[in-house]
Homo-oligomer: A and B are copies of this chain.
Amino acid sequence: MINSSDSVGVVNTQFFQFDEPLLLASGQTINAYTLAVETYGSLNADASNAVLICHALNASHHVAGISAENPDDIGWWDNMVGPGKPVDTNHFFVIGINNLGSCFGSTGPASVRVETGTPWGAAFPVVTVEDWVAAQARVADRMGIKRFAAVMGGSLGGMQALSWAITCPERVAHCVVIASTPRLSAQNIGFNEVARRAIITDPEFHGGDYYAHQTVPRHGLSVARMIGHITYLTDDDMAEKFGRTQREPAPDGEFHYGYGVEFEVESYLRYQGEKFSRYFDANTYLLITRALDYFDPARKTGGDLARALSTATADFLLVSFTTDWRFPPARSREIVKALLQNDQTATYAEIDAPHGHDAFLLDDARYHQVVQAYFDRINQSLNREA
């Protein structure tokens, strides 16, 4: 039984400052950077019970619990991580790290650059999933964690987990990849590119240096978010949620015959877009969508995913959702197939869920049971080793 009423409680952000230069995939270097981190549970004596949770596009290090800075801010995966939850903080020491280049406390385009005293803006380098892994590894080093019991993530977070298993095999005992893909399709890249064009062609973008103009390309960012939002849901799901319901019908239930909000779905998307444009950094949106586009571990092995994965020594859990049309089950199956081809150990669950890509964030009993059973097994193996 999952006791979902338990929470990790109030959590403080920790800031890790790194002064050794970080060489990026692009060839550029970041001389110094800060990462915002939260942890839940306790690290055991031999530092063997650490779980790293990697976040997707718009999330952060605030994975679970209530933010000490804002009591209304509940962690984005609070239904997954906590005492008695699938990733049980009574047993595991769980770490959330805000990605380098993001905008929730880690160094990113909106941060002041030490060398200039002004925000990085357009000068902030493009980073890749592999760069994130390298940056996160330093947090593990500082915490004395040589090997994670598990690295786990959904969507873009799943790509990071996969990349950890490939690039630092000796540091990953279990790799949990949820609603993810070994690479974006042309359609995925297409949606990202439209979102980026909406931001970049907004006159308030000022070539990425909008901070100096005391402005924000909020219209572009809002359109970008609206597009993203549609791709996280499904046609059926939206039909169920909104259908063709009118927002505020004219007298006699009539239409207004204009371009204002007419249908509930319009109101919802506009609200989501506007809300997002008030808290998310536009340059970070560009940077993270580009990291998504670039991710393709099989690129170095001539397209051979099995060969790309062959360095990994982790035990894998993969989960996909039937109605996810952004990263459909076929993409997860491709990873499973490559692992099996290498005689690597993989568990795969395809969850029948109606909520599309968003399902990975939702509280679905079958999905959570799969993850809980997997982490129970990890916990048992830790106890045997202890």
Chain A contacts to B: CB under 8 angstroms: 25-28, 125-126, 183-187, 189-191, 193-194, 196-198, 200-203, 219, 222-223, 226-227, 230, 233-235, 238-239, 241-244, 255, 257-259, 262-266, 269-270, 273, 286, 290, 293-294, 296, 325
Q: Please determine whether A265 and B193 come into contact, CB atoms closer than 8 angstroms.
A: yes
Q: Please determine whether B201 and A265 come into contact, CB atoms closer than 8 angstroms.
A: no
Q: How many angstroms between the C-alpha atoms of A242 and B190 in the bound complex?
A: 10
- Chain B residues in 8 Å Cβ range of A290: 259
Q: Please determine whether A230 and B191 come into contact, CB atoms closer than 8 angstroms.
A: yes
Q: How many angstroms between the C-alpha atoms of A286 and B189 in the bound complex?
A: 26
Q: Please determine whether B273 and A197 come into contact, CB atoms closer than 8 angstroms.
A: yes
Q: Please determine whether A190 and B259 come into contact, CB atoms closer than 8 angstroms.
A: no
Q: How many angstroms between the C-alpha atoms of A183 and B191 in the bound complex?
A: 25
A201 with B222: in contact, given A263-B293, A269-B194 (CB under 8 Å)? Answer: yes
A287 to chain B, nearest CB (A): 9
A194 with B257: in contact, given A186-B242, A203-B203, A239-B185 (CB under 8 Å)? Answer: no
Q: How many angstroms between the C-alpha atoms of A257 and B27 in the bound complex?
A: 9
Q: How many angstroms between the C-alpha atoms of A243 and B27 in the bound complex?
A: 26
- Chain B residues in 8 Å Cβ range of A201: 219, 222-223
Q: How many angstroms between the C-alpha atoms of A191 and B189 in the bound complex?
A: 17
**Minimum CB distance partner of A191 in chain B:** B230
Q: Please determine whether A197 and B183 come into contact, CB atoms closer than 8 angstroms.
A: no
Q: How many angstroms between the C-alpha atoms of A265 and B191 in the bound complex?
A: 10
Q: Please determine whether A190 and B223 come into contact, CB atoms closer than 8 angstroms.
A: no
Picked from B196, B219, B257, B263, the residue with its CB within 8 Å of the CB of A126 is B257
Additional pairs, 14, CB under 8 Å, beyond known A198-B198, A255-B294, A259-B290? A126-B257, A126-B259, A185-B239, A186-B238, A186-B241, A186-B263, A187-B235, A189-B265, A189-B266, A190-B230, A190-B238, A193-B226, A193-B269, A259-B286
Q: Please determine whether B26 and A257 come into contact, CB atoms closer than 8 angstroms.
A: yes
**Minimum CB distance partner of A125 in chain B:** B257
A186 with B294: in contact, given A196-B259, A203-B203, A258-B126 (CB under 8 Å)? Answer: no
- Chain B residues in 8 Å Cβ range of A227: 194, 227
Q: How many angstroms between the C-alpha atoms of A235 and B181 in the bound complex?
A: 14
12 examples of A-B residue contacts, CB within 8 angstroms: A186-B238, A186-B264, A189-B244, A189-B263, A189-B265, A190-B226, A190-B238, A193-B269, A194-B230, A197-B270, A198-B198, A198-B223
**Minimum CB distance partner of A261 in chain B:** B193
Q: Please determine whether A262 and B293 come into contact, CB atoms closer than 8 angstroms.
A: yes
Q: How many angstroms between the C-alpha atoms of A93 and B364 in the bound complex?
A: 59
Q: Please determine whether B230 and A187 come into contact, CB atoms closer than 8 angstroms.
A: yes
A295 to chain B, nearest CB (A): 11
